[in-house]
């Protein structure tokens, strides 16, 4: 993990937030490559969940909602973790993360930990010029509630009838007691949530199974190693009382299994809760039968920061190879990203940067490919250029050399096999499209 964290900083994937002031716990910034990596992860989710389906509509709700939202949802009363303080070193811990409450894990002092106390994870702010309890509001701890309170607006305006879903990607905030493991547990993060509403016609469990299957396929399609992914079906003790069934998607990180996503059958709990507190009708009116009912909800809620981190960790490999030019043994660090996830898909370089005709030809090829792929022009020592592109996970590199000027061909190097093909530059777009 230390190697990956160092690489993420060195190559511009992820930086600590406000680093020049010493950072702030649980917040991170995505650099030039990291921002594209995360965008690609989000686009891959959106494409699959919204664009390629005709039964899911997109949505984008505000981060701050009416405070009653969080009373109805149960977050004000129950969205808390238990914490303990060490009376000796003053450090604070999440009680359920400690193997025992007998001894402080940091200073080792016996009987120094306080009794566990509740800590609400919602971040607070004030709306308007007054800072009093009447103006108190919360930064949403999940995007889901925006979709529940808008259920009627959405199905009526989009003319949708259950089974149908609402999908949203957006920022959520949780004042985690102990953020950690790089971007795994943070205080500001992005969630991609799907709320799929189904009629109470006996097919709800089949819909749930279908979504578990669809999500399994999605991770596989984007290359996440199957032996590091597991779908853990929750026991009745593990899932909330209203959930009929639930599955956590987990990835084997260097520190152990960590949750990427939760998929749950939530019954009518959420819509019922909002109807009760708001007094507004959020049932679905079925024109055909002239009757109304509260649809059952199947939810899939994935963390985009955790998924981007998974892509990074899963892609990372440090291997010993024979040097491409020298033949001597060397260590190669490579990110084997799926081509759709890789921030740069094609690197293009001239063999020598002091030869204007090579530079011009390489730049021309790069300009031609740019509208179709995520490209990057670079120049310098060839070995170092390949190393750098391997480290940022670029699947294909194109080298323009003297032969290119004579016969119009270029060398295309494959990141994973390091094999080099000679390809006619006029065919590059098709050649790359077939492989990326």
Cβ-based nearer residue to ligand GAP, 193 or 378: 193
Angle subtended at Cα 40 by Cα 381 and Cα 179, rounded to the nearest 5 degrees: 95
Closest CB 281 distance from ligand GAP, rounded Å: 23
Q: Is position 243 an interface residue for ligand GAP (rule: CB under 6 A)?
A: no
Closest distance to ligand GAP from the beta carbon of 118 (Å) = 17
Among residues 41 and 302, whose Cβ is nearest to ligand GAP?
302
Strand 136-139 relative to strand 123-126: parallel, antiparallel, unpaired?
A: antiparallel
Beta carbon nearer to ligand GAP, 176 or 379: 176
User: Which of positions 305-344 make contact with ligand GAP (CB under 6 A)?
Assistant: 305-306
**Cβ nearer to ligand GAP, comparing 144 with 335:** 144
Calpha distance 39→307 (Å, rounded)? 11
**Which residues inside 144-203 make contact with ligand GAP, applying CB under 6 A?**
144, 174, 176, 185-186, 189, 191, 193
* Helix%, strand%, coil% for the chain, nearest 5: 35, 30, 35
Task: Figure out which of the listed residues 61, 262, 300, 376 binds ligand GAP, where binding follows CB under 6 A.
Answer: 262
Chain residues 264-293 in contact with ligand GAP, contact rule CB under 6 A: none
Cβ-based nearer residue to ligand GAP, 72 or 362: 72
303 scored as a contact of ligand GAP (CB under 6 A): yes
Tell me which H or E stretch contains 404. Answer: helix 402-407
Helix (H) or strand (E) segment spanning residue 76: helix 75-78
- Binding mask 364-403 vs ligand GAP (x if CB under 6 A, - otherwise)? ----------------------------------------
Residue 253 or 386: which CB sits closer to ligand GAP?
253
Q: Which is nearer to ligand GAP, 144 or 369 (CB)?
A: 144
Instruction: Show the beta-strand stretches assigned E in 14-163.
Output: 14-16, 28-30, 56-58, 80-85, 92-94, 117-120, 123-126, 136-139
Kindly state the number of chain residues that form the binding site for ligand GAP, as judged by CB under 6 A: 18
Closest CA to 260 of 234, 232, 236: 232
**Sign of torsion over alpha carbons 331, 333, 338, 339:** negative
Considering the complex, what minimum distance in angstroms separates the CB of residue 200 from ligand GAP? 21
DSSP lists the bridge partners of residue 18 as none
Under rule CB under 6 A, residue 61 binds ligand GAP: no
- Nearest position to ligand GAP, beta carbon: 303
Smallest gap from Cβ 256 to ligand GAP, in A, equals: 15
> How many Cβ atoms are within 10 Å of 434's Cβ, its own excluded?
7
**Rounded to an integer, what distance in angstroms lies between the CA atom of residue 313 and that of residue 254?**
8
Query: Near ligand GAP by CB under 6 A, which window of 69-77, 98-106, 201-209, 298-306?
Result: 298-306
**By C-beta, is 13 or 377 nearer to ligand GAP?**
13
Q: Which stretch binds ligand GAP (CB under 6 A): 299-307, 327-335, 381-389, 401-409?
A: 299-307
For ligand GAP, the closer CB: 92 or 367:
92
Cα 60 from Cα 147, distance rounded (Å): 9
Q: What is the DSSP string of 2-28?
A: HHHHHHHHHTTSEEETTGGGT--TT-E
Q: Closest separation between CB of residue 266 and ligand GAP, Å?
A: 9
Q: Which of 259, 272, 324, 391 binds ligand GAP (CB under 6 A)?
A: 259
Least distance (Å) from ligand GAP to the CB of residue 112? 27
In terms of Cβ atoms closer than 10 Å to its own Cβ (0-12, 13-18, 19+), residue 188 is: middle
Q: How many CB atoms lie within 10 A of CB 41?
A: 25
Q: For 307-373, what is the HEC assignment?
A: HHHHHHHHHEEEEEEECCCCCCEEEEEEECCCCCCCCCCEEEEECCCCCHHHHHHHHHHHHHHCCCC
Residue among 147 and 385 whose Cβ is closer to ligand GAP: 147
List of residues contacting ligand GAP (CB under 6 A)? 142, 144, 174, 176, 185-186, 189, 191, 193, 259-262, 301-303, 305-306
């Amino acid at each position: 993990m230390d190697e990956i964290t160092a690489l993420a900083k060195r190559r511009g994937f992820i930086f600590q937030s406000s680093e020049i002031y010493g950072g702030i716990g649980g917040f991170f910034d995505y650099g030039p490559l990291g921002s594209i990596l995360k965008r690609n992860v989000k686009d891959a989710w959106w494409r699959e969940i919204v664009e390629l389906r005709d039964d899911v509509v997109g949505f984008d709700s505000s981060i701050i909602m009416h405070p009653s939202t969080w009373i109805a949802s149960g977050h004000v009363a129950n969205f808390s973790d238990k914490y303990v303080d060490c009376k000796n070193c003053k450090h604070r811990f999440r009680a359920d993360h400690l193997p025992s409450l007998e001894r402080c894990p940091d200073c080792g002092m016996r009987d120094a930990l306080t009794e566990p106390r509740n800590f609400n994870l919602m971040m607070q702010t004030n709306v308007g010029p007054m800072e009093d309890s009447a103006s108190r509001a919360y930064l949403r701890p999940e995007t889901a509630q925006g979709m529940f309170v808008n259920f009627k607006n959405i199905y009526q305006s989009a003319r949708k009838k259950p089974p149908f879903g609402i999908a949203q990607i957006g920022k959520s905030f949780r004042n985690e007691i102990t953020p950690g493991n790089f971007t795994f547990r943070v205080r500001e993060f992005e969630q991609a949530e799907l709320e799929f509403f189904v009629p109470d016609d006996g097919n709800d469990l089949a819909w749930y199974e279908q979504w578990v299957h669809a999500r399994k396929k999605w991770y596989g399609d984007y290359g996440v190693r199957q032996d590091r992914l597991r779908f853990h079906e929750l026991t009745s003790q593990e899932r909330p009382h209203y959930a009929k069934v639930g599955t956590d998607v987990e990835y084997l990180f260097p520190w152990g299994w960590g949750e990427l996503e939760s998929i749950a059958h939530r019954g009518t709990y959420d819509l019922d809760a909002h109807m009760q507190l708001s007094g507004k009708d959020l049932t679905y009116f079925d024109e055909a039968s002239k009757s109304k009912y509260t649809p059952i909800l199947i939810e899939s809620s994935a963390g985009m920061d955790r998924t981007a981190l998974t892509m990074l960790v899963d892609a990372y490999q440090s291997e010993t190879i024979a040097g491409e030019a020298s033949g001597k043994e060397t260590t190669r660090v490579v990110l084997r990203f799926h081509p759709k996830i890789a921030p740069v898909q094609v690197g293009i370089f001239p063999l020598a940067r002091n030869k204007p005709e090579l530079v011009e030809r390489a730049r021309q090829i790069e300009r031609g490919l740019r509208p179709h792929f995520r490209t990057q022009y670079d120049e310098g020592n060839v070995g170092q250029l390949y190393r750098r592109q391997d480290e940022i996970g670029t699947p294909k590199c194109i080298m323009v050399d003297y032969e290119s000027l004579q016969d119009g061909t270029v060398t295309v190097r494959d990141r994973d096999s390091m094999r080099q093909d000679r390809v006619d530059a006029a065919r590059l777009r098709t050649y790359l499209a077939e492989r990326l």
